[in-house]
A and B are shown apart, each in its own frame.
Chain A
Amino acid sequence: MENENIIYAENLTKKFGSFVAVNSISFSVKKGEIYGFLGANGAGKTTAIRMLCGLSTPSSGKATVAGFDVYKQTENIKKNIGYMSQKFSLYEDLTVKENITFYGGIYGLSDKEIKEKTEYLLDILKIGDAKDKLIKSLPLGWKQKLAFSVAVIHNPKIVFLDEPTGGVDPLTRRQFWNMIYEEASRGITVFVTTHYMDEAEYCNRVSIMSDGIIAALDTPSKLKEKYNANTMHEVFVKIAR
């Protein structure tokens, strides 16, 4: 099971009318891998992620996520993945505890499991004192960390993180990446998009989309070597321009 593919995509394509948003992309992501999914605005990243999360039916091609088919088994996919984005995460008008209970509930955890998870998260995130506070009253950095913890509350095989660190201060951004590493070391696969190119370097492998295709895919060090660049920022500029 070490080399189990958590994502497998072959010639995956999505068209909107005559516009090809995702043009026959093929790639796979292994268990426990941190996979960076980069690309310019409008390159097709969001469309690709929507297909992989079972929210949008592909026009053609094949893909499985956590072993489930993106055409026929979208409900199974939704139960076996976690998702977090900068825009959509926690309910602002619910308290910390209520959010944990709510997400635990919709992911099918038992009352006992929810109780244990709540205690565990309040302790590890050091937010026990804030457990009855509304999410909207918390600092952004706390919210991001809690949102991530809640996205993996059901021990999904894979978690999709869509620009999780946008607008966060540099210290919190780094603490957040430590959490990502910890989850990955527990075997959860991490699929992450970011506009911070230093964060691309923290990924095991990175793909860069441009005009609907995957223009490059490799480890950060091999990409830098191939494109004769010192940083992932330089690699990105060379490919996306």
Chain B
Amino acid sequence: MKIVEVKNIVKTFDKTTAVDDVSFEVEQGEIFGLIGPDGAGKTTLFRMLTTLLKPVKGNAKVLGLDVVKNYKQIRKKVGYMPGRFSLYQDLSVEENLKFFATIFGTTVEENYNLIKDIYILLEPFKKRKAGKLSGGMKQKLALCCALIHKPDVLFLDEPTTGVDPVSRNEFWDMLRKLKEQGITILVSTPYMDEASLCDRVALMQKGKTLSIDTPDNIIRQFKKSLFAIHSENQYELFQTLMKYEHRNTVFPFGEFLHYTDKRENISEDEIKNYLETLNLKGLKIKSVKPNIEDCFMALMEEK
């Protein structure tokens, strides 16, 4: 059985089409990522799948159940961590957890093994009010609360947004452990580098999917040769390449610029020779493998 099946789903608000004819499937035990900036439709899609919003067109099933007709059954079986902080600010850590366990008709003890690794980190603060926790701690508590009824599938809406790179790494380690315990995970993120941590991803922009595949396959579909170029003055190099007649795209990527050329089969030496005639200092150029962000921008430009 597919854990999630989405077919041609549409959601509009007034004149805005938030989700525009999206289809995908998620298999048992997968980590499936919805990758895209704000306004891509990630949250609206999650709200439809967790039965909080009705689609305008199309349909979706979660655990084989229809999101409109069988919403009550779905709600018992899924865990949902919304993007905005969802906990009760004036309840303590342990009170929040107990509350969520109770409304789902279970106890903290019954499913403690599922949250143990995460909850241990929170235990020293269990008497503290949720509103007084740091961002990273709130995120961990929200995950515990979404897990406490042992859901078959977890929906995590931007759990790492605004979180520093170290805490983001820790959060992804937790997700991998949950996957090992057989929980299917749908997770959304605006951070393109997190795509590589998913089994499969849907790249989303303005309500539409740009591509749905494994991260490796998406990278393989990048059509152009990609070069990383560096010089002593990156801004000058950028301006120079922008004016270059054969330039296709040039984007800053950390200490390098990622460059593609309009010509086929172009070599590093040809570009280097051209730049050397312009007296750019400390030139370095190498052929590189594209990452998901390169692919995302290429797909955006195609549309």
Known: A169-B37, A169-B205, A170-B293. A195 touches B254 (CB 8 A): no
Known: A42-B135, A167-B37, A170-B296. A198 touches B161 (CB 8 A): no
Chain A hits for B253, CB < 8 A = 198
- Type the 1/0 row for B125-137, where 1 means its CB is closer than 8 Å to any CB of A: 0000000001110
Chain A hits for B136, CB < 8 A = 41-42
Q: Do residues B135 and A171 form an inter-chain contact, with CB atoms below 8 A?
A: no
Q: In the bound complex, how far is the Cα of B164 from the Cα of A201, in angstroms?
A: 16
Among A166, A221, A236, point to the contact of B255 (Cβ < 8 A): A221
Residues of chain A in range 159-180 having any CB-CB distance to chain B below 8 Å: 163, 166-172, 174, 177-178
Q: In the bound complex, how far is the Cα of B254 from the Cα of A178, in angstroms?
A: 13
Can you name the residue of chain B whose Cβ is closest to the Cβ of A181? Answer: B235
Q: Do residues A195 and B165 form an inter-chain contact, with CB atoms below 8 A?
A: yes
Q: In the bound complex, how far is the Cα of B133 from the Cα of A41, in angstroms?
A: 11
- Type the 1/0 row for B150-180, where 1 means its CB is closer than 8 Å to any CB of A: 0000000000011111110100000000000
Can you name the residue of chain B whose Cβ is closest to the Cβ of A195? Answer: B164
B169 to chain A, nearest CB (A): 7
Chain A hits for B162, CB < 8 A = 41, 163, 166, 195
Can you name the residue of chain A whose Cβ is closest to the Cβ of B235? Answer: A181
- Type the 1/0 row for A7-27, where 1 means its CB is closer than 8 Å to any CB of B: 000000000000000000000
Chain B hits for A195, CB < 8 A = 162-165
Residues of chain A in range 181-224 having any CB-CB distance to chain B below 8 Å: 181, 185, 195-198, 201-202, 220-221
B135 to chain A, nearest CB (A): 5
Is B251 close to A, CB under 8 A?
yes
Q: By the criterion of a CB under 8 Å from any partner CB, how many residues of chain B are at the interface?
A: 32
Q: Do residues B164 and A240 form an inter-chain contact, with CB atoms below 8 A?
A: yes
Q: How many A-B residue pairs have CB under 8 A?
A: 82
Known: A39-B164, A167-B37. A201 touches B297 (CB 8 A): no
Can you name the residue of chain B whose Cβ is closest to the Cβ of A240? Answer: B166
- Range class of the A interface residue count: 35 or more
Chain A hits for B234, CB < 8 A = 202
- Type the 1/0 row for B233-275, where 1 means its CB is closer than 8 Å to any CB of A: 0110010000000000001111100000000000000000000
- Type the 1/0 row for B27-44, where 1 means its CB is closer than 8 Å to any CB of A: 000000000111100000
Among A140, A170, A185, point to the contact of B38 (Cβ < 8 A): A140
Among A41, A174, A201, point to the contact of B251 (Cβ < 8 A): A174
Is A232 close to B, CB under 8 A?
yes
Is A237 close to B, CB under 8 A?
yes
Known: A41-B136, A139-B39. A241 touches B166 (CB 8 A): yes
Q: In the bound complex, how far is the Cα of B300 from the Cα of A178, in angstroms?
A: 19
Known: A140-B39, A168-B37. A41 touches B235 (CB 8 A): no
A16 to chain B, nearest CB (A): 12
Chain B hits for A177, CB < 8 A = 252
Is B215 close to A, CB under 8 A?
no
Q: Do residues A40 and B166 form an inter-chain contact, with CB atoms below 8 A?
A: yes
Mark B residues whose CB is within 8 Å of A.
Answer: 36-39, 134-136, 161-167, 169, 190-192, 205, 234-235, 238, 251-255, 293, 296-297, 300-301
15 A-B residue pairs with Cβ-Cβ distance under 8 Å, sorted by A, are A41-B162, A140-B39, A166-B190, A167-B161, A171-B301, A178-B238, A181-B235, A197-B254, A198-B252, A198-B253, A202-B254, A221-B255, A237-B165, A240-B164, A240-B166
Closest CB pairs A-B (n = 4): A169-B37, A167-B38, A201-B254, A198-B254
Known interface pairs A43-B164, A233-B165, A236-B165; 10 further A-B residue pairs with C-beta atoms within 8 A, sorted by A's residue number: A42-B134, A140-B39, A170-B300, A174-B251, A195-B162, A197-B254, A198-B253, A198-B254, A231-B254, A240-B165
